[in-house]
Protein backbone atom coordinates (compact mmCIF):
# COMPACT_ATOMS: atom_id res chain seq x y z
CA UNK A 1 0.00 0.00 0.00
CA UNK A 2 1.35 3.41 -0.98
CA UNK A 3 2.36 5.64 1.91
CA UNK A 4 2.88 9.39 2.17
CA UNK A 5 6.31 10.08 3.63
CA UNK A 6 8.21 13.21 4.62
CA UNK A 7 11.99 13.07 4.15
CA UNK A 8 14.07 15.93 5.52
CA UNK A 9 17.49 16.39 3.99
CA UNK A 10 16.10 15.10 0.71
CA UNK A 11 18.81 16.83 -1.33
CA UNK A 12 21.51 15.28 0.84
CA UNK A 13 23.42 12.10 0.12
CA UNK A 14 21.47 9.55 2.16
CA UNK A 15 18.21 11.47 1.86
CA UNK A 16 18.42 11.40 -1.93
CA UNK A 17 18.97 7.64 -2.04
CA UNK A 18 16.20 7.02 0.49
CA UNK A 19 13.77 9.09 -1.59
CA UNK A 20 14.69 7.16 -4.75
CA UNK A 21 14.08 3.83 -3.06
CA UNK A 22 10.76 4.97 -1.58
CA UNK A 23 9.57 6.33 -4.91
CA UNK A 24 10.56 3.08 -6.63
CA UNK A 25 8.37 1.24 -4.11
CA UNK A 26 5.38 3.40 -5.03
CA UNK A 27 5.35 5.74 -2.05
CA UNK A 28 4.55 9.44 -2.33
CA UNK A 29 7.41 11.52 -0.96
CA UNK A 30 7.54 15.11 0.18
CA UNK A 31 11.18 16.18 0.46
CA UNK A 32 12.58 19.21 2.22
CA UNK A 33 16.08 20.68 2.41
CA UNK A 34 17.60 24.11 3.00
CA UNK A 35 20.17 23.67 0.21
CA UNK A 36 22.90 25.27 2.32
CA UNK A 37 26.39 25.79 0.82
CA UNK A 38 28.27 23.45 3.19
CA UNK A 39 29.27 21.75 -0.07
CA UNK A 40 28.41 22.62 -3.66
CA UNK A 41 24.71 23.34 -4.03
CA UNK A 42 24.88 22.25 -7.67
CA UNK A 43 25.30 18.62 -6.55
CA UNK A 44 22.24 18.92 -4.33
CA UNK A 45 20.22 20.46 -7.16
CA UNK A 46 21.30 17.67 -9.52
CA UNK A 47 20.07 15.09 -7.00
CA UNK A 48 16.74 16.94 -6.78
CA UNK A 49 16.50 16.99 -10.58
CA UNK A 50 16.70 13.19 -10.59
CA UNK A 51 14.00 12.93 -7.90
CA UNK A 52 11.85 15.49 -9.73
CA UNK A 53 11.47 13.09 -12.65
CA UNK A 54 8.99 11.18 -10.47
CA UNK A 55 5.46 12.60 -10.30
CA UNK A 56 4.99 11.36 -6.76
CA UNK A 57 7.86 13.51 -5.47
CA UNK A 58 7.44 17.11 -4.35
CA UNK A 59 10.05 19.40 -2.85
CA UNK A 60 9.89 22.30 -0.39
CA UNK A 61 12.96 24.39 0.36
CA UNK A 62 12.92 25.12 4.08
CA UNK A 63 15.24 25.48 7.06
CA UNK A 64 14.85 23.10 9.99
CA UNK A 65 15.54 25.91 12.44
CA UNK A 66 12.66 28.03 11.10
CA UNK A 67 9.45 27.05 12.96
CA UNK A 68 7.13 28.71 10.45
CA UNK A 69 8.75 26.97 7.50
CA UNK A 70 8.61 23.61 9.28
CA UNK A 71 4.96 24.14 10.14
CA UNK A 72 4.29 24.79 6.44
CA UNK A 73 6.13 21.58 5.49
CA UNK A 74 4.04 19.50 7.88
CA UNK A 75 0.85 21.11 6.54
CA UNK A 76 1.42 19.05 3.37
CA UNK A 77 0.62 15.92 5.39
CA UNK A 78 -0.71 13.88 6.99
CA UNK A 79 2.38 11.68 6.81
CA UNK A 80 2.53 7.98 7.58
CA UNK A 81 6.22 8.25 8.46
CA UNK A 82 8.70 11.09 8.89
CA UNK A 83 12.32 10.23 8.02
CA UNK A 84 14.42 13.00 9.51
CA UNK A 85 17.81 12.93 7.80
CA UNK A 86 18.34 16.68 7.60
CA UNK A 87 21.16 18.04 9.77
CA UNK A 88 24.37 19.98 9.62
CA UNK A 89 26.84 17.20 8.89
CA UNK A 90 30.58 16.99 9.37
CA UNK A 91 32.76 16.50 12.42
CA UNK A 92 35.56 18.92 11.49
CA UNK A 93 33.26 21.75 10.41
CA UNK A 94 31.69 21.73 13.89
CA UNK A 95 35.01 23.01 15.25
CA UNK A 96 34.74 26.06 12.98
CA UNK A 97 31.00 26.85 12.95
CA UNK A 98 29.47 25.58 16.21
CA UNK A 99 26.34 27.74 16.08
CA UNK A 100 25.33 26.23 12.75
CA UNK A 101 25.10 22.86 14.53
CA UNK A 102 23.08 24.33 17.38
CA UNK A 103 20.59 25.85 14.94
CA UNK A 104 20.22 22.87 12.63
CA UNK A 105 20.78 19.84 14.85
CA UNK A 106 19.25 21.08 18.10
CA UNK A 107 16.72 23.82 17.33
CA UNK A 108 15.89 22.11 14.05
CA UNK A 109 15.27 18.77 15.72
CA UNK A 110 13.00 20.33 18.35
CA UNK A 111 10.94 21.77 15.49
CA UNK A 112 10.68 18.30 13.96
CA UNK A 113 9.62 16.77 17.28
CA UNK A 114 7.05 19.48 17.94
CA UNK A 115 5.47 19.08 14.51
CA UNK A 116 5.44 15.29 14.81
CA UNK A 117 3.77 15.62 18.19
CA UNK A 118 1.08 18.09 17.12
CA UNK A 119 0.39 16.27 13.85
CA UNK A 120 0.27 12.87 15.57
CA UNK A 121 2.83 11.33 13.22
CA UNK A 122 2.65 7.52 13.59
CA UNK A 123 6.44 7.02 13.40
CA UNK A 124 9.47 9.31 13.40
CA UNK A 125 12.73 7.77 12.20
CA UNK A 126 15.76 10.01 12.65
CA UNK A 127 19.43 9.84 11.78
CA UNK A 128 21.79 9.74 14.71
CA UNK A 129 25.45 8.90 14.11
CA UNK A 130 28.21 6.48 14.97
CA UNK A 131 30.07 9.55 16.24
CA UNK A 132 28.07 9.38 19.50
CA UNK A 133 30.37 6.55 20.60
CA UNK A 134 33.09 9.17 20.92
CA UNK A 135 36.04 8.12 23.05
CA UNK A 136 34.83 4.50 23.39
CA UNK A 137 37.42 1.89 22.39
CA UNK A 138 35.53 -1.38 22.95
CA UNK A 139 34.79 -2.84 19.53
CA UNK A 140 32.35 -3.32 17.97
CA UNK A 141 30.21 -0.43 19.18
CA UNK A 142 26.92 -1.70 20.64
CA UNK A 143 23.71 0.19 21.39
CA UNK A 144 23.97 -0.88 25.04
CA UNK A 145 27.33 0.93 25.43
CA UNK A 146 27.37 4.25 27.26
CA UNK A 147 27.83 7.22 24.93
CA UNK A 148 28.71 9.97 27.38
CA UNK A 149 32.10 11.05 26.03
CA UNK A 150 31.65 12.74 22.62
CA UNK A 151 34.82 14.12 21.04
CA UNK A 152 33.15 16.67 18.75
CA UNK A 153 30.24 19.09 18.96
CA UNK A 154 28.63 17.26 16.05
CA UNK A 155 28.62 14.05 18.11
CA UNK A 156 27.25 15.92 21.13
CA UNK A 157 24.33 17.28 19.09
CA UNK A 158 23.47 13.78 17.86
CA UNK A 159 23.55 12.43 21.43
CA UNK A 160 21.32 15.35 22.45
CA UNK A 161 18.90 14.45 19.64
CA UNK A 162 18.58 10.93 21.03
CA UNK A 163 17.77 12.31 24.48
CA UNK A 164 15.25 14.86 23.17
CA UNK A 165 13.59 12.15 21.09
CA UNK A 166 13.21 9.95 24.15
CA UNK A 167 11.65 12.78 26.16
CA UNK A 168 9.00 13.34 23.46
CA UNK A 169 8.40 9.63 23.13
CA UNK A 170 7.91 9.39 26.89
CA UNK A 171 5.80 12.52 27.34
CA UNK A 172 3.62 12.31 24.23
CA UNK A 173 3.76 8.60 23.29
CA UNK A 174 5.44 9.54 20.01
CA UNK A 175 6.90 6.40 18.37
CA UNK A 176 10.52 7.22 17.58
CA UNK A 177 13.42 5.19 16.18
CA UNK A 178 16.96 6.57 16.09
CA UNK A 179 19.56 5.13 13.72
CA UNK A 180 23.26 5.43 14.49
CA UNK A 181 24.55 5.49 10.93
CA UNK A 182 28.14 4.46 10.27
CA UNK A 183 30.41 5.79 7.48
CA UNK A 184 28.37 5.90 4.27
CA UNK A 185 29.77 5.97 0.74
CA UNK A 186 28.55 5.44 -2.80
CA UNK A 187 27.31 7.26 -5.92
CA UNK A 188 26.16 10.87 -5.40
CA UNK A 189 28.26 10.95 -2.22
CA UNK A 190 29.24 13.91 -0.07
CA UNK A 191 32.36 15.78 -1.22
CA UNK A 192 33.60 16.28 2.36
CA UNK A 193 33.86 12.54 3.04
CA UNK A 194 37.00 10.43 2.59
CA UNK A 195 35.94 8.29 -0.39
CA UNK A 196 34.95 11.36 -2.42
CA UNK A 197 37.95 13.48 -1.35
CA UNK A 198 40.45 10.70 -2.02
CA UNK A 199 38.94 9.97 -5.44
CA UNK A 200 39.05 13.64 -6.42
CA UNK A 201 42.68 13.94 -5.30
CA UNK A 202 43.78 10.84 -7.23
CA UNK A 203 42.13 12.04 -10.45
CA UNK A 204 43.62 15.52 -10.05
CA UNK A 205 47.07 14.34 -8.97
CA UNK A 206 46.93 16.24 -5.69
CA UNK A 207 47.93 14.80 -2.28
CA UNK A 208 45.62 12.31 -0.58
CA UNK A 209 45.70 13.39 3.08
CA UNK A 210 45.51 10.36 5.36
CA UNK A 211 45.26 11.08 9.07
CA UNK A 212 46.83 9.24 12.02
CA UNK A 213 49.55 8.03 9.65
CA UNK A 214 46.96 5.80 7.99
CA UNK A 215 46.30 3.81 11.17
CA UNK A 216 42.52 4.26 11.06
CA UNK A 217 39.56 2.00 10.40
CA UNK A 218 36.01 2.80 9.38
CA UNK A 219 32.88 0.67 9.06
CA UNK A 220 32.29 1.77 5.45
CA UNK A 221 28.68 1.05 4.46
CA UNK A 222 27.32 1.30 0.92
CA UNK A 223 24.52 3.82 0.60
CA UNK A 224 21.93 1.44 -0.88
CA UNK A 225 22.41 -0.85 2.14
CA UNK A 226 21.81 2.12 4.45
CA UNK A 227 18.65 3.06 2.53
CA UNK A 228 17.41 -0.53 2.74
CA UNK A 229 17.94 -0.54 6.50
CA UNK A 230 16.10 2.74 6.96
CA UNK A 231 13.14 1.52 4.92
CA UNK A 232 12.95 -1.70 6.95
CA UNK A 233 12.85 0.30 10.18
CA UNK A 234 10.29 2.75 8.80
CA UNK A 235 7.92 -0.16 8.23
CA UNK A 236 7.33 -0.89 11.91
CA UNK A 237 6.94 1.66 14.69
CA UNK A 238 8.40 0.73 18.09
CA UNK A 239 6.24 -0.30 21.03
CA UNK A 240 6.99 0.15 24.75
CA UNK A 241 9.36 -2.58 25.92
CA UNK A 242 7.71 -4.57 28.73
CA UNK A 243 11.11 -5.99 29.73
CA UNK A 244 12.68 -2.56 30.29
CA UNK A 245 13.97 -2.35 33.86
CA UNK A 246 14.37 1.05 35.53
CA UNK A 247 16.83 -0.48 38.00
CA UNK A 248 19.05 -1.62 35.09
CA UNK A 249 18.03 0.82 32.34
CA UNK A 250 19.04 -0.33 28.86
CA UNK A 251 19.87 2.77 26.77
CA UNK A 252 18.65 1.39 23.42
CA UNK A 253 15.09 0.60 24.46
CA UNK A 254 12.50 2.05 26.83
CA UNK A 255 9.18 1.92 28.63
CA UNK A 256 8.24 4.46 25.93
CA UNK A 257 7.81 3.64 22.20
CA UNK A 258 11.48 4.36 21.51
CA UNK A 259 14.40 2.40 20.05
CA UNK A 260 18.00 3.01 19.01
CA UNK A 261 19.79 0.87 16.40
CA UNK A 262 23.22 0.79 14.79
CA UNK A 263 23.15 0.63 11.02
CA UNK A 264 26.47 -0.23 9.40
CA UNK A 265 28.38 -2.90 7.54
CA UNK A 266 29.85 -4.69 10.57
CA UNK A 267 33.13 -4.94 8.66
CA UNK A 268 35.64 -2.17 9.52
CA UNK A 269 38.30 -1.53 6.87
CA UNK A 270 41.67 0.22 7.06
CA UNK A 271 42.01 3.57 5.28
CA UNK A 272 45.06 2.29 3.42
CA UNK A 273 42.98 -0.51 1.90
CA UNK A 274 40.46 2.12 0.79
CA UNK A 275 43.23 4.00 -1.02
CA UNK A 276 44.46 0.76 -2.62
CA UNK A 277 40.98 0.04 -4.00
CA UNK A 278 40.57 3.60 -5.25
CA UNK A 279 43.93 3.46 -7.05
CA UNK A 280 42.85 0.26 -8.78
CA UNK A 281 39.45 1.66 -9.79
CA UNK A 282 40.85 4.98 -11.00
CA UNK A 283 43.86 3.38 -12.65
CA UNK A 284 46.31 5.82 -11.12
CA UNK A 285 48.59 5.91 -8.07
CA UNK A 286 47.78 8.22 -5.18
CA UNK A 287 50.20 10.77 -3.76
CA UNK A 288 49.80 9.61 -0.15
CA UNK A 289 50.46 12.19 2.59
CA UNK A 290 50.43 10.71 6.08
CA UNK A 291 49.38 13.22 8.73
CA UNK A 292 48.75 13.26 12.51
CA UNK A 293 45.29 12.60 13.96
CA UNK A 294 42.90 15.52 13.64
CA UNK A 295 41.00 17.00 16.58
CA UNK A 296 37.53 15.50 16.96
CA UNK A 297 38.41 12.35 15.01
CA UNK A 298 38.46 8.75 16.27
CA UNK A 299 40.82 5.94 15.34
CA UNK A 300 38.26 3.22 14.62
CA UNK A 301 34.56 2.58 14.19
CA UNK A 302 32.84 -0.79 14.01
CA UNK A 303 29.12 -1.49 14.23
CA UNK A 304 27.46 -4.30 16.14
CA UNK A 305 24.36 -4.71 13.97
CA UNK A 306 22.93 -7.79 15.67
CA UNK A 307 19.88 -5.91 16.97
CA UNK A 308 18.76 -4.47 13.64
CA UNK A 309 19.43 -7.86 12.05
CA UNK A 310 17.30 -9.57 14.69
CA UNK A 311 14.39 -7.12 14.60
CA UNK A 312 14.27 -6.22 10.89
CA UNK A 313 16.32 -8.79 8.97
CA UNK A 314 18.81 -6.14 7.91
CA UNK A 315 21.86 -7.59 6.15
CA UNK A 316 24.28 -5.33 4.23
CA UNK A 317 25.11 -6.83 0.86
CA UNK A 318 27.87 -4.65 -0.61
CA UNK A 319 31.55 -5.14 0.17
CA UNK A 320 34.09 -2.35 -0.18
CA UNK A 321 35.60 -4.25 -3.12
CA UNK A 322 32.23 -4.00 -4.91
CA UNK A 323 31.20 -0.56 -3.79
CA UNK A 324 34.34 1.43 -4.57
CA UNK A 325 34.35 0.68 -8.32
CA UNK A 326 30.67 1.67 -8.45
CA UNK A 327 31.45 5.00 -6.83
CA UNK A 328 34.38 5.67 -9.15
CA UNK A 329 32.21 4.79 -12.17
CA UNK A 330 29.62 7.34 -11.02
CA UNK A 331 32.34 9.94 -10.37
CA UNK A 332 33.78 9.50 -13.88
CA UNK A 333 30.34 9.89 -15.42
CA UNK A 334 29.22 12.82 -13.31
CA UNK A 335 32.39 14.82 -13.94
CA UNK A 336 32.80 13.53 -17.51
CA UNK A 337 36.34 12.22 -16.95
Q: Is the separation of the CB atoms in 128 and 179 below 8 Å?
A: yes
Q: Bin 35: left if φ > 0, else alpha if -120 < ψ < 50, else beta.
A: left
Among residues 154, 168, 196, 331, the one annotated as catalytic is 154
Active site residue 334: no
State the virtual CA torsion across 58, 108, 188, 282 in degrees, nearest 10.
180
CA–CA distance, 6 with 284 (Å, rounded to integer): 42
State the virtual CA torsion across 96, 101, 102, 104 in degrees, nearest 10.
150
DSSP string for 26-72: T-EEEEEE---TTS-HHHHHHHHHHHTTSTTEEEEE--TT-HHHHHH
CA–CA distance, 328 with 229 (Å, rounded to integer): 24
Buried b (16+ CB within 10 A) or exposed e, 245-263: eeeeeeebbbebbbbbbbb
Query: Which residue numbers are catalytic?
Result: 154
Amino acid sequence: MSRRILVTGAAGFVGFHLCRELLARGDAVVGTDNLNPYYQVSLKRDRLAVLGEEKSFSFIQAGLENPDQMKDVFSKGPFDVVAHLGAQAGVRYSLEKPMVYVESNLTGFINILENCRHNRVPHLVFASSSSVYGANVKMPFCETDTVDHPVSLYAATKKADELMAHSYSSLFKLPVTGLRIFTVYGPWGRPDMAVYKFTKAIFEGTPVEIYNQGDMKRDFTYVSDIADGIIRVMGRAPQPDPAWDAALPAPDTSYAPYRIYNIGNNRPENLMKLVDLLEKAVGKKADRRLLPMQAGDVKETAADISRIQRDFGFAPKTTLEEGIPRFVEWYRGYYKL
